[in-house]
Structure 1
Amino acid sequence: MEFYPETEAFDTGRLRVSDIHELYYEQSGARDGNPVVVLHGGPGSGLNTKDRRFFDPKVYRVILFDQRGSGKSTPAADLRENTTWHLVADVERLRTHLGIEKWVVFGGSWGSALGLAYSESHPDRVKGIIIRGIYTISRWENMWVNQAGANAVFPDYWEDYVSVIPEGERGDLLSAYHRRMTGDDAEEKLLCIRAWNRWEDILSQLVADEEEIEARRQQSDLADLQHAVTECHYFIHGGWLRSDTQLLDDVVKIRHLPGIIIQGRYDMVCPMRTAWALHKRWPEADFHIVPDGGHTSREPGVGQKLLEAAEKFKTL
């Protein structure tokens, strides 16, 4: 299957969701089409207009938005009132604001966690769920990336990641990074933000493209800040879940809904162990392992499975 061509938004807007936060959103495709909400990764990464290309613009009404503190939402990188459950409430506010009764939920990486949290909170407002690169905000997942796990596969790049933290603090890298990225030393903060984002960029690609990664690092310091600081904020607080397994335990609330789970075998950001655990809890959902896939939706096999999933849900 070919990706659909680039499309422009037919509507953009802003939605105030609290005394502090205002969200930016876009709609594209068919005005009266099958609505799908796309939940971006990170948290803190912001929407990606290329995600529209998974959906037939003659059939789908595609809603993209920047989560709190991300992209064009304001205030940028603000961590106040910025938790998983604030975002779940925001998704529901956006649905109501746009006059949508039910929609398809689509997300990857952090977007898969938010997609599960939202769908489990509002199953009566969900037509179906398409998620990839599965993440459930567990301590094991966060430690895999930031303490012990992925470093065994990428020891060379790991040296760069830990080099910005004094040796005596490397036993708890999340806390060490969090202190610096929320601290007052601007130079130290920027150094840690760049190291954090580069490490994740390396892990995100099945074959690391150094030139592409360095080109992305030339983006604004604000975009780097939004991603790294927000992400670390969520990780260190465990997503404000009642337990490490909340998102898996609550799958019982959505097992009646159509679901498609897509996972790259060699995903180094969100290892397949979590996707397998979700599959065992939700056997009714279609489960696809991409044998040569990594983390991002740009991996050819992962992208194809996402296209096929969107095609399958056209008539929900």
Structure 2
Amino acid sequence: MYPDIQPYDQGFLNTEDGHQVYWELCGNPQGKPAIFLHGGPGGGCSTAHRRLFNPERYKVLLFDQRGCGRSTPHASLDNNTTWHLVSDMERLRTEVLQSDQMLVFGGSWGSTLALAYAQKHAAHVSALIVRGIFTVREKELLWFYQEGASHLFPDYWEDYLAPIPEHERHDLIGAYHRRLTGNDRAAQLQAAHAWTQWESRTISLLPSIAHQQDHAADDAALAFARIENHYFVNKGFMKEGQLLRDAHLLHGIPGVIIQGRYDACTPAATAWALHQAWPQAEFHLVADAGHAFDEPGILARLLAATDQFS
């Protein structure tokens, strides 16, 4: 990755409906405008995300989506939907980036948000880079949170099941929702850590202690699990299959799709479906990678893509 850099400007976007959204600008103030969309939802940005862009060529805006990272109020689900985030992106584009167009870069849930934004505001997207494709279809949610990936990681799955009594396990997303939004702080945290660790343990092709520590703190785990579960209970606040159905709206946008073949969180079938629906975009299926952006084969493709559009 590119060397560590510090923001040259930062602040908060007042959404005027109860949220303060943290943002930062990095790189070259006269560079190509770009926006980075983190995963989760509920994950927040990290210093490593700044390093995916050549700081001499890009003016990069990173922001913590509603309720997570440095944004406040912490772990809030109020006025927190895909379309609220798309609106935040539009305000950040005009008020902070101050640009008519921007490169949009998103991985995992960030790919969902990137596709949603680009389909609604195609004229403002100069290029689109998406990784670990996730479109919030019911079968994608069931694969990872009900049954599917459980067959690959039966040991980790036992820990994911642990907070949920047997009689509630027919709907694990719903059962987790009741605990994550309940008033019992101990039950909230137990559910938050179990939910978060399930993803953290399965995100990479090989075990990674660093990934397992990403959301280890109580506050980070709670924001990640609460917000992610809230979006999934509500099917991403979209119609079933919407992002693939409307992929034709992307056809004028230069794009790159990057996917790990052995991604257990967001299996390659969804990336392949997007590739078929949006054949104009470059498609890279990385043979020896899982879901994480920092796996060598995926990282190399991501850096090549940002260089390509700079």
1:230 matched residue in structure 2: 227
Which SS does the other structure have where 1:171 is aligned?
Answer: coil
Residue in 1 that maps onto 2:74: 76
What is aligned with 1:131? 130
2:268 maps to 1:265: no
State the distance in 2 between where 1:267 and 1:216 align: 18
Does the CA contact (< 8 Å) of 1:79 and 1:230 recur in 2? yes
Match of 2:242 among 214, 223, 246: 246
TM-score (norm 2): 0.98
Are 2:31 and 1:9 aligned?
no
Q: What is the match of residue 297 of structure 1? A: 293
> Offset at 1:49?
1.9
The residue type equivalent to 1:273 in the other structure is: A
CA contact (8 A) 2:200 2:212 kept: no
1:21-36 equivalences under 5 Å are: 21-36=19-34
Match of 2:282 among 283, 286, 308: 286
Aligned CA RMSD, in angstroms, stands at 1.0
CA contact (8 A) 2:200 2:214 kept: no
Cα deviation digits, residues 261-306 of structure 1 (max 9, x gap): 0000001111001000000000000000000011011110000000
- In structure 2, the CA distance between the partners of 1:214 and 1:60, relative to structure 1 (3 Å rule), is closer
* Structure 1 spans left out of the alignment, 5+ residues: none
- Give the aligned partner of residue 207 of structure 2: 208
Q: What secondary structure is seen at the aligned counterpart in 2 of 1:106?
A: strand
Structural mapping, 1:43-122, within 5 Å: 43-98=41-96, 99-122=98-121
User: What is the one-letter code of the residue matched to 1:27?
Assistant: L
What amino acid sits opposite 1:224 in the alignment? Answer: A
**Amino acid of the residue matched to residue 73 of structure 1?**
S
**CA contact under 8 A between 2:215 and 2:224: conserved in structure 1?**
no
The residue type paired with residue 259 of structure 1 is: G
Question: Distance between the aligned counterparts of 1:205 and 1:254, measured in 2?
Answer: 29
Return the alpha-carbon distance in structure 2 between the equivalents of residues 295 and 81 of structure 1.
29
Superimposed CA distance per residue, residues 115-135 of structure 1 (whole angstroms, 9 cap, x where no aligned partner): 000010000100000000000
Aligned to 1:150: 149
Distance 2:149 2:212 in 1: 21
2:111/2:131 contact within 8 Å kept: yes
Q: Identical aligned pairs, as a percentage?
A: 48
- 1:203 deviates by 1.2
**For 1:56 and 1:194, how far apart are their aligned partners in 2?**
35
Aligned mates of 2:28, 2:115 — CA distance in 1 = 26
Q: Alignment partner of 1:54: what SS? A: coil
The 5-angstrom pairing of residues 193-204 of structure 1 reads 193-204=192-203
Q: Distance in 2 between matches of 1:35 and 1:213?
A: 29
2:306 matched to 1:310? yes
| Structure 1 residues 291 and 193: CA distance shift in structure 2, 3 A | same
Gaps of 5+ in 2: none
CA contact (8 A) 2:260 2:291 kept: yes
**Post-superposition shift, 1:213?**
5.0
1:218 Cα deviation after fit: 4.0
Note closer, same or farther for the CA distance 1:142–1:25 as it changes in structure 2 (3 Å cut).
same
Structure 2 contact 289–295 (Cα < 8 Å) conserved? yes
